[in-house]
Amino acid sequence: MAAQIPPTQIWPTQIWYVELRGPDALTRLGEWLERLPALPGFVGAELLSSPAQPELALVASRWAAEVPDVGVPNGAKHWIFRVERSV
């Protein structure tokens, strides 16, 4: 029996956080999130919410290259971080 080779995993080089507040934040960021997979370098993303802050939504996306220059929803704050170390 031949040894199985694990699938190749693409590690992100950048993480992009996009935060939005308001009663429709989760819906608006969810719609925006659907655009990301078509962009070059996209690895994956999550749409996050917190019961402690019900009007706050956050997208955490991972990129294997520079984050493309795309807009964020009106009123959103965003930050790009370089991955310096991963375990």
Q: Please, what sign has the CA dihedral across residues 17, 12, 32, 25?
A: negative
pLDDT given for residue 50 in this prediction: 95
Cα–Cα dist 51/12, whole Å: 28
In this prediction the pTM is 0.85
Would you say residue 39 has pLDDT above 60? yes
pLDDT given for residue 43 in this prediction: 95
More confident residue, 85 or 5: 85
pLDDT given for residue 87 in this prediction: 81
State the average pLDDT over residues 70-87: 94
